[in-house]
């Protein structure tokens, strides 16, 4: 970290770092166990959804009352807005405990949420950008993403022309993206070569050159917006380090993310080189928590990693208990928390008729 940022060195208790997941972390029903049962989470979700008007009403309806036609959670029209809203709401839950994270690191779309929380975008602007991206989904090429148990060096010379490295998540965990046909060809080639391959939840080839048109549209939209320097806590999965203020206010940096390689693994390792931390995944699933467990700092327990909203939680009590577990770990570490489980009635705060 720079001298202007919050240091992770020589501090007790270990500081909290928020990890914010992106495309691929989504699952059906994510966050529903907290909605209407945790007031901070509920209010924060509503605060985002209501900014989208009619679009927000549809996102809300598809989320809380999924139908056969709306259960494709990997469709960008559902995944992107819900990931943005849930990541933001989970971060607000942590803030409501009286904890100010020392650093924030997002994966893919999670970096936009981190930018909101550190002052680059205001919430209105970021919500409009998310909605704009969803509105342009029809102009994006069909395709997808896959995860491969291989290093980028091992993949050299094996990939079809239109398939690109989308993310470097760990030493031998690489994501690839591309249009439908070339990606299917890549799957066959890689499996024949003995590599384990699995699909990632996406119906678009994010973080590949195939998204160049979307990147240009995003950059043009951002050029009309006043971007601000961040508050010193924003780490980037694209630069693999503390984000420079020059990048923070550059529309092209943010606009091109949709076609740029995510370097989450190198970014997390660089962050942990600045000191040990409590890593809290503030969003759906435990993808980033699992990646954190691959780092030497977490394997040795110099740093710890926790998921706030793991999959397969059975109802409100299990969801609230998962938050309690994270809050308890922070308290044991020595963080002074405001009551992490505020009371509320169990009716959903719903300003929209769904």
Q: Where do the structural domains in the chain lie, given as residue ranges?
A: 16-138+208-333, 143-200
Could you tell me which residue, 51 or 349, shows the higher pLDDT?
Answer: 51
pLDDT of residue 23: 86
Name the residue among 196, 193, 215 with its Cα closest to residue 204.
215
3: which residues sit within 8 A by CB, 6+ positions away?
none
Question: What is residue 12's three-state secondary structure?
Answer: coil
Q: What is the pLDDT of residues 120-162, one digit of tens each?
A: 999 999 999 999 888 776 678 889 999 999 999 999 999 999 9
Could you tell me which residue, 173 or 72, shows the higher pLDDT?
Answer: 173
Res. 75 pLDDT band, cuts 50 70 90: confident
pLDDT of residue 259: 95
pLDDT of residue 345: 45
Calculate the alpha carbon distances from 292 to 8, 49, 257, 309 in Å.
17, 30, 22, 16
pLDDT of residue 351: 44
* CATH number assigned to the domain covering 16-138+208-333: 3.40.366.10
Q: Which CATH class is domain 143-200?
A: alpha beta
Count how many residues are written for the chain: 354
What is the pTM for the complete model shown? 0.91
Res. 256 pLDDT band, cuts 50 70 90: very high
Please say whether the beta carbons of 234 and 118 come within 8 A: yes
Could you tell me which residue, 139 or 94, shows the higher pLDDT?
Answer: 94
Res. 89 pLDDT band, cuts 50 70 90: very high
Q: Strands 234-236, 103-106: parallel, antiparallel or unpaired by DSSP?
A: parallel
C-alpha of 232 from chain center: 19
Give phi and psi for 289, each to the nearest 5: -60, -45
pLDDT of residue 134: 83
Q: What is the pLDDT of residues 201-251, one digit of tens each?
A: 888 899 999 999 999 999 999 999 999 999 999 999 999 999 999 999 999
- For the chain, the average pLDDT equals 91
């Amino acid at each position: 970290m720079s001298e202007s940022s919050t240091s992770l060195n020589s501090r007790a208790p270990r500081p909290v770092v928020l990890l914010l997941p992106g495309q691929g972390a989504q699952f059906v029903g994510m966050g529903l166990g907290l909605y209407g049962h945790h007031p901070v989470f509920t209010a924060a979700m509503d605060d985002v959804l209501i900014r989208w008007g009619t679009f927000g009403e549809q996102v809300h309806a598809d989320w809380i009352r999924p139908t056969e036609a709306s259960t494709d959670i990997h469709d960008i029209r559902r995944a992107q807005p819900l990931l943005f809203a849930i990541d933001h709401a989970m971060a607000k839950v942590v803030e409501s405990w009286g904890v100010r994270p020392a650093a924030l690191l997002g994966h893919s779309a999670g970096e936009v949420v981190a930018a909101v929380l550190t002052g680059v975008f205001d919430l209105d602007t970021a919500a409009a950008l998310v909605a704009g991206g969803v509105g342009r989904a029809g102009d994006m090429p069909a395709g997808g993403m896959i995860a491969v148990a291989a290093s980028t060096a091992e993949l050299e010379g094996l990939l079809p022309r239109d398939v690109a490295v989308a993310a470097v998540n760990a030493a031998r965990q690489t994501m690839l993206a591309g249009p439908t046909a070339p990606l299917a060809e890549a799957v066959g080639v890689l499996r024949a070569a003995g590599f384990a391959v699995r699909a990632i939840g996406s119906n678009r080839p994010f973080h590949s050159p195939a998204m160049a048109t979307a990147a240009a549209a995003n950059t043009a939209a951002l050029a009309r917006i006043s971007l601000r320097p961040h508050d010193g806590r924003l780490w980037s999965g694209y630069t693999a380090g503390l984000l420079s203020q020059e990048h923070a206010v550059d529309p092209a940096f943010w606009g091109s993310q949709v076609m740029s390689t995510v370097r989450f693994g190198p970014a997390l390792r660089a962050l942990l080189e600045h000191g040990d931390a409590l890593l809290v995944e503030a969003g759906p699933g435990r993808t980033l928590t699992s990646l954190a467990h691959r780092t030497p700092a977490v394997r040795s327990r110099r740093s710890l990693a926790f998921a706030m909203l793991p999959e397969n939680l059975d109802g409100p009590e299990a969801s609230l208990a998962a938050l309690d577990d994270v809050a308890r770990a922070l308290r044991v570490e020595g963080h002074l928390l405001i009551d992490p489980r505020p009371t509320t009635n169990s009716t959903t705060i719903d300003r929209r008729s769904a």
